[in-house]
Amino acid sequence: MSPSSAVSRSGGSHILSKDHAEEVGPGGLASATLGSGAFCLERRDTGQVAVLTPNPGEWDPERPDVDRVEMRIVQDDNARVPQLRTGEIEVALRIPFGRAASLENARGVDGEMVTICRTAAIGPNMRKVPELADMQMRQAISHAVDREAMIDAILRGNGEPARSPFYRPGILFHTDAFAAGHDLEKARALMAGSAAPDGFEVDLLIAAGDGLAQQTAVILTDQLADIGITVNVVPVEAGTWWQMWSGASSRWSASSAPTT
User: To 5 degrees, how large is the angle CA 59–CA 15–CA 20?
Assistant: 100
- The predicted-structure confidence for 75-119, as pLDDT tens digits, reads as follows 777 788 888 888 888 888 878 777 777 787 788 888 887 777 777
What pLDDT, on a 0 to 100 scale, did the predictor assign at position 260?
27
The CATH class given to the 122-254 domain equals alpha beta
pLDDT beyond 50 at 69: yes
| Boundaries of every domain in the chain | 18-103, 122-254
Distance CA 44, CA 30 (A): 9
How does residue 33 score in pLDDT terms, banded at 50, 70 and 90? confident
Judge contact between 180 and 162, C-beta under 8 A. no
For a pLDDT cut of 70, what percent of the chain falls above it? 87
What pLDDT, on a 0 to 100 scale, did the predictor assign at position 8?
34
Judge contact between 227 and 168, C-beta under 8 A. no
Considering the domain 18-103 in this protein, what is its CATH number? 3.40.190.10
The reply to whether the predicted model has a pTM over 0.75 is: no
The single-letter code of the amino acid at 43 is: R
What pLDDT, on a 0 to 100 scale, did the predictor assign at position 159?
85
Q: Identify the residue with better confidence: 67 or 10.
A: 67
Residue 26 buriedness (CB in 10 A; 0-12 / 13-18 / 19+): exposed
- The predicted-structure confidence for 120-143, as pLDDT tens digits, reads as follows 888 888 888 999 999 999 999 999
Considering only CA atoms, which of 196, 194, 185 is closest in space to residue 226? 185
pLDDT beyond 80 at 9: no
Residue 13 buriedness (CB in 10 A; 0-12 / 13-18 / 19+): exposed
Judge contact between 124 and 132, C-beta under 8 A. yes
- The predicted-structure confidence for 141-193, as pLDDT tens digits, reads as follows 999 999 999 999 988 888 888 877 766 666 777 777 778 899 999 999 999 99
What pLDDT, on a 0 to 100 scale, did the predictor assign at position 131?
95
**CA neighbours within 13 Å on the CB side: how many for 82?**
3
pLDDT beyond 80 at 194: yes
DSSP string, 150-169: HHHHHSTT------STT-ST
What pLDDT, on a 0 to 100 scale, did the predictor assign at position 259?
31
Give the pairing type, strands 200-207 and 229-236: parallel
Distance CA 37, CA 163 (A): 36
What pLDDT, on a 0 to 100 scale, did the predictor assign at position 10?
46
What pLDDT, on a 0 to 100 scale, did the predictor assign at position 248?
56
Same fold, 18-103 and 122-254: no
Considering only CA atoms, which of 213, 219, 226 is closest in space to residue 140? 226
What pLDDT, on a 0 to 100 scale, did the predictor assign at position 73?
85
How does residue 6 score in pLDDT terms, banded at 50, 70 and 90? very low
Burial 188-217 (b: 16+ CB within 10 A, else e): bebbeebebbeebebbbbbbebbbbbbbbb
User: To 5 degrees, how large is the angle CA 235–CA 228–CA 130?
Assistant: 70
Distance CA 70, CA 52 (A): 6
pLDDT beyond 80 at 39: yes
pLDDT beyond 60 at 258: no
What pLDDT, on a 0 to 100 scale, did the predictor assign at position 253?
55
Arithmetic mean of pLDDT over the chain: 82
- The predicted-structure confidence for 215-257, as pLDDT tens digits, reads as follows 999 999 999 999 999 999 999 887 787 777 776 555 555 544 3
